[in-house]
């Protein structure tokens, strides 16, 4: 019942009579209205008192007008729902205000019952908005808490298994060693998933820290590829590397780049059948840069990308089921996984490629996937430093 709410409403109008009459009406309806007669008094009240649920804001006022007040409230991330009051003929301006965050508008002269309905509606929307934001915050806190609480014990588990595997507690035969390694690999998979999730959230919040420096990416790719050669062989998969013989200097964050390549190779390993092949390819292009011709039309290039005189093309391809054409663009979206039919048991959360895309974009590069004839190829183009050897 509205008569029990006593919620605070601010009425802002330089026409005192209208403000007073509206105030009396709203008071009768059970609200706690306060009146001010100009824009700067409104800002003081709304920003410093903070507990107004709705403000009824006249557009045309001398001094600070309603539109300016609205913009300042938005900039101050004020929670109060704003209903603009405008004279007839000023509706376009009112619509503009709604685009700038106003909840509603009403044209003068108006019936008080009409205003009351709008106030109730604005309050309901505001409550929904606040509840949704609160829920989102709780969800984020929960994910963060869960991620940390999962990661710490997992790291301890990996450490303990490693001690046993290394023979520190007694001799371990080859078969036992393989089982222990496979337990470590599975734990590492979960740790990677948690790291991806936490970092994607940091990217989205603009809080990721990237220590970008020039690195020889041939060295980094070789390092990651070597880690995957053994499990590939174990699964009966041919593992081929075709890398530029000289160093290629690229501005990347070393750990993030290693994770990107690790995510791509982890996928290749998951989605290649026994007897299949994984190929890692990394070369430099200059001059006419034929590698640019492959870029799909839906990819947005970073500004000035085409002005780079030297570009590195890194690709990870694998045989398997391939990826349907209509999925090529979407598999980089968070939590996207294709159907689990036809293949080996696949673990994962659908986050690895999202991480890859966000990280590659931070290196001013592009990433996409191509797929044909039961083969997928993930391609990354990165601007390459001009002081590479020619």
Ligand X SMILES: Nc1ncnc2c1ncn2[C@@H]1O[C@H](COP(=O)(O)OP(=O)(O)OP(=O)(O)O)[C@@H](O)[C@H]1O
- Per DSSP bridges, beta strands 81-87 and 52-58 are parallel
**Cα–Cα dist 252/366, whole Å:** 13
For 70-135, the DSSP string reads: HHHHHHTT---EEEEEEETT-HHHHHHHHHTT--EEEEES--HHHHHHHHHHHHHHHHHHHHHHHH
Three-class SS of residue 253?
A: strand
Q: Which of 318, 319, 364, 388 binds ligand X (CB under 6 A)?
A: 318
Of 23 and 276, CB closest to Mg ion: 276
**Cα–Cα dist 161/153, whole Å:** 12
For 36-65, the DSSP string reads: E-SHHHHHHHHHHH--EEEEEEES--SSS-
- What is the closest distance, in whole angstroms, from the C-beta atom of residue 368 to ligand X in the complex? 12
- Find how far residue 104's CA is from the centre of its chain: 30
Of 252 and 268, CB closest to ligand X: 268
Residue among 278, 303, 145, 160 nearest 224 (CA): 278
Is 354 near Mg ion (CB under 5 A)?
Answer: no
The interface region with Mg ion, picked from 17-25, 132-140, 181-189, 263-271 by CB under 5 A, is: 263-271
Q: Which of 53, 267, 315, 375 binds Mg ion (CB under 5 A)?
A: 267
Of 210 and 338, CB closest to Mg ion: 338
Residues in the chain: 390
Is 352 near Mg ion (CB under 5 A)?
Answer: yes
Of 2 and 151, CB closest to ligand X: 151
Three-class SS of residue 278?
A: strand
Residue among 231, 227, 267, 271 nearest 354 (CA): 267
Q: Which does 323 bind (CB under 5 to 8 A by kind): Mg ion, ligand X, none?
A: ligand X
Q: Which of 86, 196, 308, 388 binds ligand X (CB under 6 A)?
A: 196
Q: Which does 318 bind (CB under 5 to 8 A by kind): Mg ion, ligand X, none?
A: ligand X
Is 262 near ligand X (CB under 6 A)?
Answer: no
Q: What b/e string do you get for 71-81 counting C-beta neighbours within 10 Å, with b at 16 or more? A: ebbeeeebebb
**Cα–Cα dist 56/81, whole Å:** 9
- What is the closest distance, in whole angstroms, from the C-beta atom of residue 310 to Mg ion in the complex? 30
Query: Which contiguous run of DSSP H or E holds residue 194?
Result: helix 174-204
- What is the closest distance, in whole angstroms, from the C-beta atom of residue 232 to ligand X in the complex? 13
Binding string, residues 263-292; x marks residues near ligand X by CB under 6 A: x---xx--x---------------------
Of 123 and 317, CB closest to ligand X: 317
- Per DSSP bridges, beta strands 249-253 and 212-216 are antiparallel
- What is the closest distance, in whole angstroms, from the C-beta atom of residue 111 to ligand X in the complex? 56
- What is the closest distance, in whole angstroms, from the C-beta atom of residue 48 to ligand X in the complex? 46
Site for ligand X, residues 368 to 387, rule: CB under 6 A: 376
Q: Which of 352, 357, 380, 382 binds ligand X (CB under 6 A)?
A: 352
- What is the closest distance, in whole angstroms, from the C-beta atom of residue 265 to ligand X in the complex? 9
Q: Which does 229 bind (CB under 5 to 8 A by kind): ligand X, Mg ion, none?
A: none
Query: Which contiguous run of DSSP H or E holds residue 359?
Result: helix 352-362
Query: Which contiguous run of DSSP H or E holds residue 353?
Result: helix 352-362
The interface region with ligand X, picked from 5-13, 174-182, 242-250, 331-339 by CB under 6 A, is: 331-339
- What is the closest distance, in whole angstroms, from the C-beta atom of residue 13 to ligand X in the complex? 55
> Residues interacting with Mg ion, by CB under 5 A?
267, 348, 352
Site residues for ligand X per CB under 6 A? 193, 196, 263, 267-268, 271, 318, 320, 323, 331, 336-338, 348-354, 376
């Amino acid at each position: 019942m509205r008569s029990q709410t006593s919620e605070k409403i601010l009425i802002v109008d330089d026409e005192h009579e209208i403000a007073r009459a509206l105030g009396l009406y709203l008071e009768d309806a059970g609200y706690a209205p306060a009146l001010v007669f100009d824009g700067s008094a409104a800002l003081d009240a709304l920003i410093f008192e903070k507990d107004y649920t709705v403000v009824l804001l006249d557009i045309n006022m001398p001094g600070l007008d309603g539109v300016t007040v609205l913009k300042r409230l938005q900039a101050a991330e004020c929670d109060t729902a704003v209903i603009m009051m405008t004279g007839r003929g000023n509706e376009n301006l009112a619509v503009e205000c709604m685009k700038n965050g106003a909840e509603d508008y009403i044209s003068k002269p108006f019936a008080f019952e009409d205003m009351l309905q709008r106030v109730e509606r604005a309050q309901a929307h505001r409550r929904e908005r606040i509840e949704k934001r609160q829920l989102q915050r709780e969800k984020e806190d929960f994910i963060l808490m869960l991620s940390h609480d999962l990661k710490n014990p997992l790291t301890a588990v990996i450490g303990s298994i490693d001690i046993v595997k290394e023979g520190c507690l007694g001799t371990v035969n080859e078969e036992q060693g393989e089982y222990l390694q496979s337990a470590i690999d599975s734990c590492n998979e979960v740790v990677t998933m948690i790291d991806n999730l936490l970092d994607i959230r940091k990217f989205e919040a603009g809080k990721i820290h990237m220590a970008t420096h020039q690195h020889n990416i041939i060295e980094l790719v070789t390092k990651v590829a070597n880690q995957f050669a053994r499990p590939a062989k174990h699964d009966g998969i041919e593992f081929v590397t075709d890398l530029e013989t000289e160093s290629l200097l690229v501005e990347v964050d070393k750990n993030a780049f290693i994770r990107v390549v690790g995510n791509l190779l982890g996928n290749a390993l998951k989605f290649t059948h026994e007897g299949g092949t994984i190929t890692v390819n990394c070369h430099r292009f200059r001059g006419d840069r034929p590698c640019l011709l492959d870029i799909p039309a839906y990819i947005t290039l970073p500004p000035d990308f085409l002005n780079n005189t030297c570009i590195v093309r890194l690709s990870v391809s694998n045989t398997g089921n391939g990826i349907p054409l209509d999925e090529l663009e979407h598999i980089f979206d968070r939590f996207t996984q294709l159907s689990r039919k036809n293949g080996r048991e696949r673990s994962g959360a659908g986050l690895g490629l999202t991480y890859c895309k966000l990280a590659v974009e931070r290196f001013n590069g592009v990433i996409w996937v191509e797929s044909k004839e039961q083969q997928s190829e993930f391609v990354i183009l990165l601007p390459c430093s001009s002081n590479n050897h020619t």
